[in-house]
Every structure is written in C-alpha cells, then in structure tokens.
Structure 1
Amino acid sequence: MNTTPRPRKKSTNISLDVSLVEEAKTLNINLSSTLNSALEDVVRLKRQAMWREENKTAIEASNRFVEEHLIPRSSDGLRVIK
C-alpha cells in the first residue's frame, strides 16, 4: 500500500489550441500530468532567475574576490588547486 501523501490538486480552466489538444489525446498524452510537469519546470526556472538577480551583487563580489585573491586559472580557464 502506497502511503506517500499526494500533492493537493486544484481544478482550473485553461485555454489551449484545439488541434493540439486533439493530437495529444490521439497520442494518449495525459494533459494534466504533462501541463503540471511543464509548469513545474517553468516555475523552477523563474525562481532560479529571480534568485540570480536578487543575489547578483553578492555573486559578482565573490567572483571578484576569487579573481583577485585566491585560485589562479589554468591555461584552459579552469581553477587549479595545487
């Protein structure tokens, strides 16, 4: 018996291209599962972009510090620790 809690789901109305929906049904594509997965990807990418923007100053400062004080780059551009 599977005791893993399932995420809550919410019914929603969306508008999709009719021919695309018909083709998906013909191909036995589960729209809810597919759209949920795609939305998870989009949300994750958006969160990553927002995090990078919110932390841009700190990331740049860290990169400058490393460039100026720590590990030199090898000829192929990689950091080398000896």
Structure 2
Amino acid sequence: MRAGARSVVRKPTNLTLDARLVVEAKNLDINISRVAEESIAKAVSEEKARLWKIENRDVIQSLNDYAEKQGLPLDEPQQA
C-alpha cells in the first residue's frame, strides 16, 4: 500500500485470475497481491462514498436548497 502506512494483518486468499494476465504480470515484475489489494481498497473506498451520499442525500439536498434560496454565507450581496 502506501509507504509509512500502518502495519496491517494480511490474510492469504485464493483468487481466480486470467492465466495470461498472471503470466504477463509476473514477466513485468508486477506484484499481483499488491495490485489486487490496492484495487480492492479503492473499490471499498468508492463504495463507502457512494453509500454515504445515499444515506445523507436528504441533508445534502436540504443544504443545497438553502444555499440556492439564501446564498452562501460568504458570498457578497448581489447588487440590483
């Protein structure tokens, strides 16, 4: 993962992958486990963000409605 990231406990896991991709990755010295871990971490993060937006959509919409009607607090008043 990232340099300086906290120590993590790793769990051996079986994956079924395209054999040609595995051979190519090994020939290119690509660490399949690290790439898989990074990709899964990204997918988890994106899914959490998606779910957070769904769970908070009412509040987000309420804030957007308020800003549309009232303007943003630091906006300068519009001159007529």
TM-score by length of 2: 0.82
Residue 75 of structure 2, aligned match among 52, 77, 81 = 81
Structure 1: give runs of 5+ residues left out of the alignment.
72-79
Q: Look up the SS of the partner of 1:42 in the other structure.
A: helix
Shift of 1:33: 0.7
Greater relative contact order (Cα < 8 A, sep 6+): 2
* SS of match in other structure, 1:29: coil
Structure 1 vs Structure 2: percent identity of aligned residues? Answer: 30
How far off is 1:69 after superposition?
1.1
1:57 aligns with 2:58: yes
* Ranges of 4+ aligned residues in structure 1 off by more than 2 Å: none
Distance 1:40 1:61, change over 3 A: same
Q: Report the alpha carbon displacement of residue 81 of structure 1 after superposing the two structures with TM.
A: 2.1
**Residues 19-67 of structure 1, C-alpha deviations (whole Å, 9 max, x = no match):** 0000000000001111101111000000000000110111001100110
* Superposition pairs of residues 3-82 of structure 1, within 5 angstroms: 6-71=7-72, 81-82=75-76
Q: How many positions carry a matched residue from both structures? A: 71
